[in-house]
Structure formats: structure tokens, C-alpha cells
């Protein structure tokens, strides 16, 4: 069993984690999908837009699934490996990818876009979203909700009562209203996640770096080894992700 552990963590520790493609986890981890189908709805809205901004686009993989882009299509991203990936993926489609530190201000003029989208933004600067939206324009996004996959987070870090209260959809809706936006919907769901082997855990924590900040195999080897034994003995490690579908409009 220990040889399996070493092979699994070595493989996962060497896997590339740039971009926002999780296909490496196929057959090793599963996550229930939200009922609403974010990418499909995003694509519909992009096809009807004149100028759109996708914030924190990652490697551009989700945005690239849209069949039609508006005449002006811009995406922002902060992490250099993702910037490179998104540029290679989106530039041939005519989209502009802008390096942005995910801190205000957004590098765009007031009322520059009639649509702003984002899938799983790490930070949401509502006043900036409201500023760059045209009157009547919409923000459409899928946010990570509160205590998402915290069964795994707290396995490594212990109880996180303060962090569990973050990303509350009611609080986010209030912040959006305070920035001058009208809430169309803020729809939460909790979804089952299963990790079938310890390699999947290592890969996930290396890729989603804010879950266990500073995560390395060397730092958490003992806990990883214990979790490996638990998975082998009891079956997949089960957690629950949280997602919120957000739609807001800037009044005319």
C-alpha cells in the first residue's frame, strides 16, 4: 500500500496544473454539476452581447466553449501560466486577453461593456463591475459558495469557522446592491464531490491553490498518508462543493 501511495503522490505532484481543465481527474474524482448549466447560459448571453468582459478567465477553457463571441470580447487573468494558455486559446477567436492583478480598478473605461461574466472568481469587486457595465447591462456568473469542499480543507487545516462564513450568497447580493446593481437571481446549490485516490487530492490542492494555502506534498505528507489509508479502507473521500448562480443588472 505504501508503494501505491508513493506512486500516486509522485504522479500527481508532477502533473501540470496550468489552465482550468480538470480532465486529469477523469476516473479519479467526480463532482456533481449544478442544475443550471452555466456554460450554456453564458454562451447564449455572449451571442446576444455587443461588448463582453470575462473576468478571471483562467486558461480561457470555459469561455472558449461559446460558439459565438460578441464584436468586442475581452478576458482578464492574473496568473502567468493561465495568461499564456488563454491567449493561445482565445486570440485566434478574436478575443483580447488582458493581464490584470484581480484588484481594482479594472483596466477599462466606464460603461465599456453590456455583459460581464465570470466562472468561479476568487474575488468579486462589485463597484468595478458596476462601473464598467453600461446602463441596462448584466453581470452573469457562477460563484463558489460558502464552505466549498471544506471537508477536505478542514481535514488538513482543522476547523475554519470564520472562513466557513465567507462567500455567503446573501452577503454577496447585499454587496452587489450597495454597488448599485439589481439582483435578478442568486441561486445556491450544494453538490457531492468524491476523491477516489490520494493522487486526486494532491492534484486538486495543487491546482485550486486557495483551498489549503501553501500546500505541498512535503509539508502534508503524514496527513496525505493517513488519508490514503482511509480511502483504501473506506472508499472515496466525500466532500461537498457550493455554487451560486448570480445574475445582476445595472439600472437604466
> What is d(CA 114, CA 135) in angstroms, rounded to the nearest whole number?
8
Q: What is the pLDDT of residues 79-122, one digit of tens each?
A: 898 999 999 999 999 999 999 999 999 999 999 999 999 999 99
> What is d(CA 141, CA 246) in angstroms, rounded to the nearest whole number?
5
Q: Is the pLDDT of residue 2 over 80?
A: no
- As a three-state string, the secondary structure of 8-52 is HHHHHHHCCCCCCCCHHHCCCEEECCCCCCHHHHHHHHHHHCCEE
Name the residue with cell 446573501: 170
Mean pLDDT of the 233-250 span: 98
Which grid cell sits at 60? Answer: 480561457
Contact 141, 123 (CB under 8 A): no
Q: What is the pLDDT of residues 5-47, one digit of tens each?
A: 999 999 999 999 987 789 999 999 999 999 999 999 999 999 9
CATH code where residue 125 lies: 3.40.50.150
The residue range of the domain holding 43 is 2-249
Q: Is the pLDDT of residue 171 over 70?
A: yes
The tally of domains found in the chain comes to 1
Which grid cell sits at 138? Answer: 448584466
Amino acid at each position: 500500500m505504501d508503494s501505491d501511495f508513493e506512486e500516486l503522490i509522485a504522479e500527481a505532484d508532477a502533473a501540470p496544473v496550468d489552465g482550468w481543465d480538470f480532465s486529469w481527474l477523469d476516473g479519479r474524482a467526480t463532482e456533481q454539476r449544478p442544475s443550471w448549466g452555466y456554460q450554456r447560459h453564458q454562451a447564449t448571453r455572449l451571442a446576444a452581447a455587443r461588448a463582453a468582459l470575462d473576468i478571471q478567465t483562467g486558461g480561457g477553457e470555459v469561455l472558449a466553449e461559446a460558439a459565438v463571441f460578441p464584436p468586442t470580447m475581452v478576458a482578464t487573468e492574473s496568473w502567468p501560466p493561465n495568461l499564456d494558455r488563454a491567449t493561445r486559446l482565445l486570440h485566434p477567436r478574436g478575443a483580447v486577453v488582458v493581464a490584470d492583478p484581480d484588484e481594482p480598478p479594472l483596466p477599462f473605461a466606464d460603461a465599456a461593456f453590456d455583459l460581464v461574466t465570470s466562472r468561479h472568481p476568487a474575488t468579486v469587486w462589485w463597484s468595478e463591475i458596476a462601473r464598467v457595465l453600461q446602463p441596462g447591462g448584466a453581470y452573469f456568473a457562477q460563484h463558489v459558495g460558502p464552505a466549498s469542499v471544506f471537508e477536505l480543507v478542514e481535514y488538513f487545516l482543522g476547523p475554519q469557522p470564520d472562513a466557513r462564513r465567507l462567500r455567503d450568497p446573501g452577503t454577496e447580493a447585499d454587496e452587489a446592491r450597495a454597488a448599485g446593481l439589481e439582483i435578478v437571481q442568486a441561486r445556491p446549490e450544494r453538490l457531492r464531490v468524491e476523491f477516489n485516490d490520494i493522487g486526486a487530492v494532491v492534484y486538486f490542492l495543487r491546482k485550486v491553490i486557495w483551498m489549503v494555502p501553501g500546500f505541498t506534498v512535503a509539508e502534508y505528507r503524514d496527513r496525505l498518508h493517513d488519508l490514503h489509508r482511509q480511502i483504501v479502507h473506506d472508499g472515496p473521500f466525500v466532500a461537498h462543493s457550493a455554487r451560486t448562480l448570480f445574475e445582476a443588472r445595472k439600472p437604466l
